[in-house]
Amino acid sequence: MKVAVVILNWNGKDLLKQFLPSVTQFSTEANIYVADNASTDDSIEFLRNNFPEVKIIQNKENGGYAKGYNDALKHLSEEILILLNSDIEVTINWLQPILEMFGKESKTAVVQPKILDYKKKDHFEYAGAAGGFIDKFGYPFCRGRIFDTIEKDFGQFNDNAEIFWASGACLAIRNEVFKEIGGFDEDFFAHQEEIDLCWRIKNFDYDIKYTGNSVVYHVGGATLDKINPKKTYYNFRNSLFMLVKNLPKKEMRKIVFQRMILDGIAGLKFLIQGDYKHLISVLKAHTHFYANFSKMSRKRIEKSSNIQYFEIKSVVFKYFVLRKKTFKNIM
């Protein structure tokens, strides 16, 4: 099985210098690519001088995560594509469990490894942890991470499991499936585009899996810190985009309306706290959502409309009202 590990880079020379050595050392089965999103630092020169074995793809512009990967992956022929953040340290034999799962399970289109925190290695990492789910209103959560509560890794997720979405920090996907569903939605630019991708994959009746036998360590927040208002904007806007595109038609308008009310409550909380930058981000997200509603509606594809996309109705209610903080208690 031919494999490509593809790292998207934008002005990330320091991250490449720190983390690329582990990738080249422990990924001998794969062709390694760095897809550069029109960096203005000397990332390309650094790669050519220090990692001649790494193949370089030079994108013409910084189109963010979604367009950056779409542009980089369109000409690759390897059967398995592994999208890897530049701030991830991989471990010995990290590829084998992923490739074994693809080899044994023809219906599995995406696999995610266990993602632990590089700075606190006995804890899960925010972006993906041990695999993701969403509730009825599209709020994402993970095995090992509910909102800002991060679980310690006690081996509770050392299993192989079916999940709803895999983290874009380390996402392995069959090349043919990526192309079949049209890749990432470039209107997302960044944040939650992997959830939208996985939902579309589910609608095409493929499986998405997690394997706890593969481990990587993620720094996280290297692009946008979680308290950055831009991240608030993308998360609120893209959640609504995702719901419009993927919800069953008979439920879409009702659930989107309910989600917007919940967003309004979050905006009111920002107002009470005096956090005006994040309040403005929520308002901008909704304004841009209204402007793009028709466009997103035209992207709807319902190949398998009977899919049960959520496991619990409201993670917000269970977490903030019932005070349940771990995945085991939430479910």
State whether residue 45 is helix, strand or coil.
Answer: helix
Instruction: Mark whether 209 and 302 lie in a shared domain.
Output: no
Lookup: tokens for 86: 């530049």
Give me the residues paired with residue 207 across strands: 108
- Does any domain span residue 79? yes
Instruction: Mark whether 96 and 179 lie in a shared domain.
Output: yes
User: Looking at residue 11, which CATH number applies to its domain?
Assistant: 3.90.550.10
The predicted structure's pLDDT at residue 222: 47
Closest Cα to residue 183, out of 38, 34, 83, 86? Answer: 83
The number of domains in the chain is 2
Ranges of the chain with pLDDT below 50: 222-223
The predicted structure's pLDDT at residue 303: 66
The predicted structure's pLDDT at residue 272: 96
The predicted structure's pLDDT at residue 318: 97
The predicted structure's pLDDT at residue 190: 86
Buried/exposed 29-39: b ≥16 CB within 10 Å, e otherwise: ebbbbbbbbeb
Instruction: Mark whether 208 and 237 lie in a shared domain.
Output: no
- Does any domain span residue 325? no
Q: CA dist 160 to 84, 156, 213, 214, Å?
A: 20, 11, 8, 10
Q: CA dist 179 to 29, 80, 281, 308, Å?
A: 23, 12, 33, 24
The predicted structure's pLDDT at residue 227: 72
- Does any domain span residue 328? no
By the 8 A CB rule, do 117 and 123 touch?
yes
Instruction: Mark whether 182 and 118 lie in a shared domain.
Output: yes
What is the per-residue DSSP string for 202-220? Answer: HHTT-EEEEEEEEEEEE--
Instruction: Mark whether 134 and 277 lie in a shared domain.
Output: no
- Does any domain span residue 330? no
Instruction: Mark whether 79 and 47 lie in a shared domain.
Output: yes
Q: What gap in Å lies between CA 168 and CA 163, rounded to an integer?
A: 14
- Residue numbers of the domain that contains 260: 229-306
Instruction: Mark whether 176 and 233 lie in a shared domain.
Output: no
The predicted structure's pLDDT at residue 249: 85
Closest Cα to residue 85, out of 189, 8, 175, 163? Answer: 8
Instruction: Mark whether 249 and 178 lie in a shared domain.
Output: no
Q: What is the CA angle 154-159-163, rounded to 5?
A: 110
- Does any domain span residue 321? no
